[in-house]
Structure 1
Amino acid sequence: MAKLDEIAELLTEEINGFEKSIGRLEKAHENLKNLPLRPDTTELNNLLKEYGNNQKDNIEEQQRLMQRILHKVERSILLPSWATKLAWGLLVAVLLVLGFSIHQVSRIAKKEEAAYLKGQHDTIEHYGTFFKENPEAKVLYQKWLEDNGQK
Protein backbone atom coordinates (compact mmCIF):
# COMPACT_ATOMS: atom_id res chain seq x y z
CA MET A 1 0.00 0.00 0.00
CA ALA A 2 2.99 2.30 0.55
CA LYS A 3 3.84 1.99 -3.16
CA LEU A 4 0.28 2.92 -4.08
CA ASP A 5 0.41 5.97 -1.82
CA GLU A 6 3.77 6.98 -3.31
CA ILE A 7 2.45 6.62 -6.87
CA ALA A 8 -0.68 8.60 -5.99
CA GLU A 9 1.44 11.35 -4.41
CA LEU A 10 3.66 11.53 -7.51
CA LEU A 11 0.59 11.79 -9.74
CA THR A 12 -0.85 14.56 -7.58
CA GLU A 13 2.43 16.50 -7.68
CA GLU A 14 2.64 16.14 -11.46
CA ILE A 15 -0.93 17.34 -11.90
CA ASN A 16 -0.38 20.31 -9.57
CA GLY A 17 2.82 21.22 -11.42
CA PHE A 18 0.97 20.97 -14.72
CA GLU A 19 -1.83 23.21 -13.46
CA LYS A 20 0.69 25.80 -12.21
CA SER A 21 2.45 25.71 -15.58
CA ILE A 22 -0.86 26.26 -17.34
CA GLY A 23 -1.63 29.17 -15.00
CA ARG A 24 1.73 30.79 -15.77
CA LEU A 25 1.21 30.23 -19.47
CA GLU A 26 -2.23 31.81 -19.30
CA LYS A 27 -0.73 34.87 -17.56
CA ALA A 28 2.01 35.04 -20.18
CA HIS A 29 -0.61 34.72 -22.92
CA GLU A 30 -2.62 37.61 -21.43
CA ASN A 31 0.53 39.72 -21.30
CA LEU A 32 1.31 38.89 -24.93
CA LYS A 33 -2.23 39.85 -26.01
CA ASN A 34 -1.66 43.35 -24.65
CA LEU A 35 1.48 43.79 -26.73
CA PRO A 36 1.07 45.38 -30.10
CA LEU A 37 3.06 42.61 -31.76
CA ARG A 38 1.46 39.28 -32.47
CA PRO A 39 4.05 36.57 -31.72
CA ASP A 40 4.05 33.23 -33.48
CA THR A 41 2.83 30.69 -30.88
CA THR A 42 2.80 27.62 -33.06
CA GLU A 43 6.01 26.33 -31.48
CA LEU A 44 4.60 26.94 -28.04
CA ASN A 45 1.37 25.19 -28.96
CA ASN A 46 3.31 22.23 -30.31
CA LEU A 47 5.39 22.04 -27.11
CA LEU A 48 2.24 22.21 -25.01
CA LYS A 49 0.56 19.51 -27.05
CA GLU A 50 3.66 17.33 -26.78
CA TYR A 51 3.85 17.94 -23.03
CA GLY A 52 0.14 17.19 -22.68
CA ASN A 53 0.53 13.97 -24.67
CA ASN A 54 3.51 12.95 -22.54
CA GLN A 55 1.51 13.61 -19.40
CA LYS A 56 -1.41 11.64 -20.77
CA ASP A 57 0.90 8.70 -21.63
CA ASN A 58 2.49 8.85 -18.17
CA ILE A 59 -0.89 8.83 -16.47
CA GLU A 60 -2.08 5.89 -18.58
CA GLU A 61 1.12 3.95 -17.80
CA GLN A 62 0.72 4.64 -14.10
CA GLN A 63 -2.90 3.51 -14.23
CA ARG A 64 -1.87 0.25 -15.94
CA LEU A 65 0.80 -0.28 -13.27
CA MET A 66 -1.75 0.45 -10.57
CA GLN A 67 -4.14 -2.10 -12.07
CA ARG A 68 -1.39 -4.75 -12.19
CA ILE A 69 -0.45 -4.05 -8.58
CA LEU A 70 -4.07 -4.22 -7.46
CA HIS A 71 -4.55 -7.49 -9.37
CA LYS A 72 -1.47 -9.01 -7.69
CA VAL A 73 -2.58 -7.79 -4.25
CA GLU A 74 -6.03 -9.30 -4.74
CA ARG A 75 -4.54 -12.66 -5.78
CA SER A 76 -2.01 -12.80 -2.94
CA ILE A 77 -2.63 -15.00 0.08
CA LEU A 78 -1.48 -13.82 3.47
CA LEU A 79 -1.05 -16.36 6.25
CA PRO A 80 -0.99 -15.25 9.87
CA SER A 81 2.35 -15.69 11.59
CA TRP A 82 0.82 -17.96 14.25
CA ALA A 83 -0.34 -20.40 11.53
CA THR A 84 3.14 -20.51 10.02
CA LYS A 85 4.74 -21.07 13.43
CA LEU A 86 2.21 -23.79 14.26
CA ALA A 87 2.91 -25.59 10.97
CA TRP A 88 6.68 -25.49 11.60
CA GLY A 89 6.17 -26.69 15.18
CA LEU A 90 4.06 -29.63 14.02
CA LEU A 91 6.62 -30.51 11.36
CA VAL A 92 9.44 -30.51 13.93
CA ALA A 93 7.33 -32.62 16.33
CA VAL A 94 6.53 -35.17 13.60
CA LEU A 95 10.19 -35.39 12.60
CA LEU A 96 11.26 -35.89 16.23
CA VAL A 97 8.69 -38.65 16.80
CA LEU A 98 9.66 -40.31 13.52
CA GLY A 99 13.36 -40.15 14.37
CA PHE A 100 12.78 -41.58 17.84
CA SER A 101 10.63 -44.38 16.41
CA ILE A 102 13.29 -45.30 13.87
CA HIS A 103 15.91 -45.30 16.63
CA GLN A 104 13.77 -47.60 18.80
CA VAL A 105 13.09 -50.00 15.92
CA SER A 106 16.80 -50.20 15.13
CA ARG A 107 17.48 -51.22 18.74
CA ILE A 108 14.99 -54.14 18.76
CA ALA A 109 17.56 -56.72 17.61
CA LYS A 110 19.96 -55.71 20.40
CA LYS A 111 17.19 -55.84 22.98
CA GLU A 112 16.10 -59.31 21.77
CA GLU A 113 19.66 -60.61 21.95
CA ALA A 114 20.14 -59.17 25.45
CA ALA A 115 16.82 -60.66 26.58
CA TYR A 116 17.76 -64.06 25.09
CA LEU A 117 21.14 -64.07 26.87
CA LYS A 118 19.54 -63.00 30.14
CA GLY A 119 16.87 -65.68 29.79
CA GLN A 120 19.52 -68.30 29.03
CA HIS A 121 21.57 -67.24 32.04
CA ASP A 122 18.51 -67.18 34.32
CA THR A 123 17.44 -70.63 33.10
CA ILE A 124 20.87 -72.15 33.68
CA GLU A 125 20.99 -70.53 37.10
CA HIS A 126 17.48 -71.77 37.91
CA TYR A 127 18.31 -75.37 36.91
CA GLY A 128 21.63 -75.15 38.75
CA THR A 129 19.82 -74.08 41.91
CA PHE A 130 17.21 -76.79 41.40
CA PHE A 131 19.87 -79.49 40.96
CA LYS A 132 21.74 -78.29 44.10
CA GLU A 133 18.57 -78.48 46.16
CA ASN A 134 17.53 -81.84 44.63
CA PRO A 135 20.62 -84.01 44.07
CA GLU A 136 18.48 -87.05 43.17
CA ALA A 137 16.95 -85.07 40.28
CA LYS A 138 20.47 -84.26 39.11
CA VAL A 139 21.39 -87.92 39.11
CA LEU A 140 18.23 -88.84 37.16
CA TYR A 141 18.95 -86.04 34.65
CA GLN A 142 22.54 -87.18 34.08
CA LYS A 143 21.33 -90.78 33.62
CA TRP A 144 18.77 -89.60 31.08
CA LEU A 145 21.49 -87.67 29.20
CA GLU A 146 23.72 -90.75 29.05
CA ASP A 147 20.86 -92.89 27.78
CA ASN A 148 20.10 -90.45 25.00
CA GLY A 149 23.78 -89.97 24.16
CA GLN A 150 23.86 -86.25 24.74
CA LYS A 151 26.66 -85.94 27.24
Structure 2
Amino acid sequence: MAKLDEIAELLTEEINGFEKSIGRLEKVHEDLQNLPLRPDTSELNALLKEYGNNQKTNIEEQQRLMRKILYKVERSILLPSWAIKLFWGLLVTVLLVLGFSIHQVSRISKKEEAAYIKGQDDAIEHYGTFFEDSPEAKELYQKWLEGKGKK
Protein backbone atom coordinates (compact mmCIF):
# COMPACT_ATOMS: atom_id res chain seq x y z
CA MET A 1 0.00 0.00 0.00
CA ALA A 2 2.85 2.22 0.50
CA LYS A 3 3.45 2.12 -3.17
CA LEU A 4 -0.11 3.08 -3.88
CA ASP A 5 0.23 6.06 -1.59
CA GLU A 6 3.39 7.04 -3.31
CA ILE A 7 1.78 6.83 -6.77
CA ALA A 8 -1.25 8.83 -5.52
CA GLU A 9 1.02 11.50 -4.16
CA LEU A 10 2.91 11.72 -7.50
CA LEU A 11 -0.37 11.94 -9.38
CA THR A 12 -1.55 14.70 -7.07
CA GLU A 13 1.63 16.66 -7.66
CA GLU A 14 1.32 16.18 -11.42
CA ILE A 15 -2.30 17.28 -11.37
CA ASN A 16 -1.39 20.41 -9.35
CA GLY A 17 1.40 21.22 -11.82
CA PHE A 18 -0.99 20.64 -14.72
CA GLU A 19 -3.61 22.96 -13.13
CA LYS A 20 -0.96 25.67 -12.68
CA SER A 21 0.06 25.31 -16.36
CA ILE A 22 -3.58 25.55 -17.41
CA GLY A 23 -3.98 28.70 -15.30
CA ARG A 24 -0.97 30.26 -17.00
CA LEU A 25 -2.28 29.28 -20.44
CA GLU A 26 -5.68 30.81 -19.66
CA LYS A 27 -3.97 34.03 -18.58
CA VAL A 28 -1.84 34.15 -21.77
CA HIS A 29 -4.97 33.36 -23.81
CA GLU A 30 -6.86 36.25 -22.22
CA ASP A 31 -3.91 38.57 -22.80
CA LEU A 32 -3.77 37.55 -26.47
CA GLN A 33 -7.49 38.11 -26.93
CA ASN A 34 -7.24 41.55 -25.40
CA LEU A 35 -4.45 42.58 -27.79
CA PRO A 36 -5.83 44.89 -30.51
CA LEU A 37 -4.22 43.00 -33.40
CA ARG A 38 -5.99 43.79 -36.66
CA PRO A 39 -4.27 42.89 -39.94
CA ASP A 40 -3.71 45.98 -42.14
CA THR A 41 -4.24 44.99 -45.78
CA SER A 42 -4.55 48.50 -47.20
CA GLU A 43 -1.02 48.43 -48.70
CA LEU A 44 -1.64 45.01 -50.15
CA ASN A 45 -4.97 46.19 -51.59
CA ALA A 46 -3.27 49.26 -53.11
CA LEU A 47 -0.56 47.11 -54.70
CA LEU A 48 -3.13 44.69 -56.08
CA LYS A 49 -5.22 47.56 -57.46
CA GLU A 50 -2.15 49.13 -59.13
CA TYR A 51 -1.18 45.76 -60.59
CA GLY A 52 -4.74 45.30 -61.86
CA ASN A 53 -4.68 48.74 -63.50
CA ASN A 54 -1.31 47.98 -65.11
CA GLN A 55 -2.64 44.69 -66.39
CA LYS A 56 -5.74 46.39 -67.77
CA THR A 57 -3.60 49.01 -69.54
CA ASN A 58 -1.32 46.31 -70.97
CA ILE A 59 -4.28 44.29 -72.22
CA GLU A 60 -5.84 47.37 -73.85
CA GLU A 61 -2.50 48.21 -75.53
CA GLN A 62 -2.13 44.63 -76.77
CA GLN A 63 -5.69 44.66 -78.12
CA ARG A 64 -5.05 47.97 -79.90
CA LEU A 65 -1.85 46.61 -81.45
CA MET A 66 -3.64 43.40 -82.45
CA ARG A 67 -6.42 45.40 -84.16
CA LYS A 68 -3.77 47.44 -85.99
CA ILE A 69 -1.94 44.29 -87.12
CA LEU A 70 -5.17 42.63 -88.24
CA TYR A 71 -6.13 45.77 -90.19
CA LYS A 72 -2.77 45.76 -91.96
CA VAL A 73 -2.96 42.02 -92.65
CA GLU A 74 -6.46 42.37 -94.10
CA ARG A 75 -5.28 45.19 -96.39
CA SER A 76 -2.08 43.44 -97.45
CA ILE A 77 -1.67 41.71 -100.80
CA LEU A 78 0.30 38.53 -101.04
CA LEU A 79 2.53 38.48 -104.10
CA PRO A 80 4.78 35.62 -105.13
CA SER A 81 8.48 36.32 -105.05
CA TRP A 82 8.88 35.73 -108.80
CA ALA A 83 6.35 38.52 -109.49
CA ILE A 84 8.27 40.93 -107.29
CA LYS A 85 11.57 40.01 -108.97
CA LEU A 86 9.97 40.42 -112.40
CA PHE A 87 8.62 43.84 -111.42
CA TRP A 88 12.04 45.02 -110.22
CA GLY A 89 13.69 43.63 -113.35
CA LEU A 90 11.24 45.48 -115.58
CA LEU A 91 11.68 48.66 -113.57
CA VAL A 92 15.47 48.51 -113.92
CA THR A 93 15.12 47.81 -117.67
CA VAL A 94 12.76 50.75 -118.15
CA LEU A 95 15.09 53.06 -116.22
CA LEU A 96 18.09 51.93 -118.29
CA VAL A 97 16.22 52.45 -121.57
CA LEU A 98 14.98 55.84 -120.40
CA GLY A 99 18.50 56.89 -119.38
CA PHE A 100 19.95 55.72 -122.71
CA SER A 101 17.20 57.57 -124.61
CA ILE A 102 17.86 60.79 -122.71
CA HIS A 103 21.57 60.41 -123.43
CA GLN A 104 20.91 59.91 -127.15
CA VAL A 105 18.53 62.88 -127.32
CA SER A 106 21.09 65.09 -125.61
CA ARG A 107 23.64 64.12 -128.28
CA ILE A 108 21.35 64.93 -131.25
CA SER A 109 22.47 68.56 -131.55
CA LYS A 110 26.12 67.49 -131.58
CA LYS A 111 25.38 64.88 -134.26
CA GLU A 112 23.45 67.41 -136.35
CA GLU A 113 26.29 69.91 -136.09
CA ALA A 114 28.86 67.28 -137.04
CA ALA A 115 26.70 66.14 -139.97
CA TYR A 116 26.23 69.76 -141.12
CA ILE A 117 29.96 70.45 -141.01
CA LYS A 118 30.68 67.18 -142.84
CA GLY A 119 28.05 68.01 -145.48
CA GLN A 120 29.45 71.52 -145.87
CA ASP A 121 32.97 70.17 -146.26
CA ASP A 122 31.77 67.56 -148.78
CA ALA A 123 29.88 70.21 -150.77
CA ILE A 124 32.88 72.58 -150.82
CA GLU A 125 35.13 69.72 -151.87
CA HIS A 126 32.64 68.64 -154.56
CA TYR A 127 32.29 72.17 -155.96
CA GLY A 128 36.06 72.68 -155.73
CA THR A 129 36.61 69.52 -157.75
CA PHE A 130 33.90 70.57 -160.19
CA PHE A 131 35.41 74.02 -160.66
CA GLU A 132 38.89 72.52 -161.16
CA ASP A 133 37.54 70.15 -163.82
CA SER A 134 35.59 72.89 -165.65
CA PRO A 135 37.18 76.34 -165.56
CA GLU A 136 34.34 77.84 -167.66
CA ALA A 137 31.85 77.03 -164.93
CA LYS A 138 34.16 78.70 -162.42
CA GLU A 139 34.27 81.89 -164.46
CA LEU A 140 30.48 81.93 -164.86
CA TYR A 141 30.07 81.39 -161.12
CA GLN A 142 32.41 84.27 -160.27
CA LYS A 143 30.52 86.57 -162.65
CA TRP A 144 27.29 85.53 -161.02
CA LEU A 145 28.72 86.28 -157.59
CA GLU A 146 29.92 89.75 -158.70
CA GLY A 147 26.51 90.51 -160.15
CA LYS A 148 24.80 89.43 -156.97
CA GLY A 149 27.15 91.47 -154.81
CA LYS A 150 26.33 94.71 -156.71
CA LYS A 151 22.65 94.46 -156.08
State the Cα distance separating 1:85 from its structure 2 match: 0.2
1:102 and 1:87 map into 2 onto residues whose CA distance is 22
- Counterpart of 1:25? none
Please give the per-residue CA displacement for 1:5-35, whole angstroms capped at 9, x wherever unaligned: xxxxxxxxxxxxxxxxxxxxxxxxxxxxxxx
State the Cα distance separating 1:142 from its structure 2 match: 1.1
| Identity in percent | 78
2:72 and 2:140 map into 1 onto residues whose CA distance is 94
The answer to whether structure 1 residue 130 and structure 2 residue 130 are counterparts is: yes
Residues 1-151 of structure 1 aligned to structure 2 (within 5 Å): 75-149=75-149
2:74 and 2:126 map into 1 onto residues whose CA distance is 79
State the Cα distance separating 1:148 from its structure 2 match: 2.2
- Counterpart of 1:22? none
Aligned-partner residue type, residue 97 of structure 1:
V
Aligned-partner residue type, residue 118 of structure 1:
K
Alignment gaps of 5+ in structure 1 = 1-60
1:81 and 1:148 map into 2 onto residues whose CA distance is 76
Please give the per-residue CA displacement for 1:54-95, whole angstroms capped at 9, x wherever unaligned: xxxxxxx7xx79x86777655543211000000000100110
2:98 and 2:113 map into 1 onto residues whose CA distance is 24
TM-score between both structures, scaled by the size of structure 2: 0.51
Alignment gaps of 5+ in structure 2 = 1-58
Change (3 A) 1:102 1:70: closer
Secondary structure of residue in 2 paired with 1:77: coil
Change (3 A) 1:142 1:89: same
User: What is the aligned length?
Assistant: 93
1:106 and 1:125 map into 2 onto residues whose CA distance is 30
Aligned-partner residue type, residue 119 of structure 2:
G
Change (3 A) 1:71 1:97: closer
Higher relative contact order, structure no. (Cα contacts within 8 Å, ≥ 6 residues apart): 1
TM-score between both structures, scaled by the size of structure 1: 0.51
